[in-house]
Amino acid sequence: MFEDLLRAWDGEEVAVRFDAATDTWMFVCVHSTRLGPSCGGTRMKPYAAPHDALEDGLRLASAMTSKSAVAGLPLGGGKAVLAVPSIPEGGRRRELLLRYGDLVDALGGTYVTACDMNTSERDMDVVAERTHHLMGRSTESGGSGSSAPSTAVGVFHGIRAAVRHVSGSQDLAGRTVLIQGVGAVGRALADLLADAGARLLLSDVDDERARDAAAGCGGEVVRADRTIGTECDVFSPCATGGVLDASTIPALRCRIVVGAANNQLGAPEDAERLSARGILYAPDYVVNAGGIIHLASLELLGEDEAARDERLRGIADTLAECLRIAEAEGIPTGAAAERMVAARLAAA
Ligand code: NAI
């Protein structure tokens, strides 16, 4: 099964290590180093089979190439997956992370890691004991800390650009935005939107989290299982991937989709389904690049927060260009974004 996945992939290399002590498969997927070292977070997750973990890593690494290219960063795309039997804690977790740090270090800088699902800044502090090819350590350890607030800022700029494209004005006052998932990114996004005068609808599988967020920013809670059919101007998926597919797209009651979640489309043809319904879809990797921009700007390029914020504002221009191409060529926005990625890679 590994053979089939690797044959079908257009990336550069995959480093595989089996950590017998924790029964963990480690996959470091280097999709492209054309624009710079491959960069992407470390996902720690139990999978049904190692094959599923590799598949996830390959797909996510490819998306990172697109994300960094379209954001104009001097980085390639990569991703690491630690396929654990269960999420480890304490000493066991620390030992696993140290051995994982050795693997990253052995790649000599071809891959630069960061946080992702189930890995935190504290984990990066541990990995940093074995390699300096990483970003996203805690601020106490000299890193730039959580990237989630910057991801939220980038999505906010994306929402304004999409609203401007549709209505001619980026004013969010009185517009209804439905956020699915009020975790680190969705919660910060809710605050930004509330400050801009938007009406907020918030859903989360964690009821208490949804209620807290609604109380904090003056929004209303929508039951998690009612999210898709709820009317709004902008739907913002900030929870998990695969939320836009043949079963959900017909039920959407929105004009615009702009969110932080990676891989929002269930399948490539879902982009066509959305445009056939007249729904503007902002390609996820265009608008959720705020996290990688935050890390690269502050840690790799040595810029200050003002320069980072300027780059985050650039997400609005990138999305506007993507929407302009899509409209001019009569193609889905995802295809327009792919053209922008191809042009940036070809120019390198
Ligand atoms: P998080 O784990 O802090 O928050 C996710 C929230 O979604 C949680 O509150 C969870 O209870 C909720 N949730 C899960 N499934 C749900 C469902 N079906 N319906 C409603 N709520 C659901 O994650 P975070 O950091 O806020 O990231 C959100 C999304 O954005 C993820 O898909 C992540 O991969 C993506 N992303 C995050 C970046 C970052 O800088 N944190 C950067 C780029 C993408």
Query: What is the per-residue pLDDT across 33-79, written as a single tens digit (0 to 9) for each?
Result: 999 999 999 999 999 999 999 999 999 999 999 999 999 999 999 99
Cβ burial 54-84 (10 Å sphere, 16+ → b, else e) = bbbbbbbbbbbbbbbbbbebebbbbbbbbbb
Distance (angstroms) between ligand 1 centre and the Cα of 261 equals 6
Give yes or no for residue 198 having a pLDDT over 90.
yes
User: DSSP code of 190?
Assistant: H
Give yes or no for residue 151 having a pLDDT over 90.
yes
Confidence band for 150, pLDDT divided at 50, 70 and 90? very high
Are residues 120 and 46 in contact, defined by beta-carbon separation less than 8 angstroms?
Answer: no
Predicted local confidence at residue 284, as pLDDT = 96
Q: What are the catalytic residues? A: 79
* Number of the ligand 1 atom closest to the C-alpha atom of 150: 40
Predicted local confidence at residue 107, as pLDDT = 98
Handedness of CA 53, 60, 247, 259 (dihedral sign): positive
Question: Which residue is closest in CA terms to ligand 1's atom 14?
Answer: 239
Indicate whether residue 212 lines ligand 1 (CB < 6 A).
Answer: no
Predicted local confidence at residue 135, as pLDDT = 97
Indicate whether residue 261 lines ligand 1 (CB < 6 A).
Answer: yes
Predicted local confidence at residue 153, as pLDDT = 98
Query: Between 268 and 321, whose confidence is greater?
Result: 321
Give the least confident one: 125-134, 243-252, 259-268.
Answer: 259-268
Q: How large is the average pLDDT for residues 98-120?
A: 97
Predicted local confidence at residue 39, as pLDDT = 98
Predicted local confidence at residue 218, as pLDDT = 94
Question: Which residue is closest in CA terms to ligand 1's atom 33?
Answer: 261
Predicted local confidence at residue 195, as pLDDT = 97
Predicted local confidence at residue 163, as pLDDT = 98
Question: Which residue is closest in CA terms to ligand 1's atom 12?
Answer: 181
Indicate whether residue 119 lines ligand 1 (CB < 6 A).
Answer: no
Question: Which mutation among 151, 223, 286 tests ligand 1's pocket best, with the greatest number of atoms within 8 A of CB?
Answer: 151
Mean pLDDT for the chain? 97
Q: How large is the average pLDDT for residues 91-108?
A: 98
Distance (angstroms) between ligand 1 centre and the Cα of 113 equals 19
Return the percentage of the chain with pLDDT > 90, whole number: 99
d(CA 229, CA 251): 5
Name the residue among 260, 258, 259, 314 with its Cα closest to residue 73.
314
Give yes or no for residue 172 having a pLDDT over 90.
yes
Q: How large is the average pLDDT for residues 209-229?
A: 97
State the Cα angle at 147 between 187 and 39, rounded to 5°: 140
Q: How large is the average pLDDT for residues 2-6?
A: 95
Distance (angstroms) between ligand 1 centre and the Cα of 299 equals 24
* Number of the ligand 1 atom closest to the C-alpha atom of 237: 29
Give yes or no for residue 1 having a pLDDT over 90.
no
Q: How large is the average pLDDT for residues 323-333?
A: 96
Question: Which residue is closest in CA terms to ligand 1's atom 17?
Answer: 205
Question: Which residue is closest in CA terms to ligand 1's atom 25?
Answer: 184
Confidence band for 348, pLDDT divided at 50, 70 and 90? confident
Question: Which mutation among 116, 192, 203, 205 tests ligand 1's pocket best, with the greatest number of atoms within 8 A of CB?
Answer: 205
Give yes or no for residue 268 having a pLDDT over 90.
no
Name the residue among 254, 246, 269, 71 with its Cα closest to residue 179.
254
Question: Which mutation among 204, 223, 230, 297 tests ligand 1's pocket best, with the greatest number of atoms within 8 A of CB?
Answer: 204
d(CA 34, CA 47): 30
User: DSSP code of 140?
Assistant: G
Predicted local confidence at residue 24, as pLDDT = 98
Distance (angstroms) between ligand 1 centre and the Cα of 278 equals 26
Distance (angstroms) between ligand 1 centre and the Cα of 279 equals 22
Indicate whether residue 224 lines ligand 1 (CB < 6 A).
Answer: yes
Give me the residue label for tokens 């998690």. 224
Q: How large is the average pLDDT for residues 7-16?
A: 98
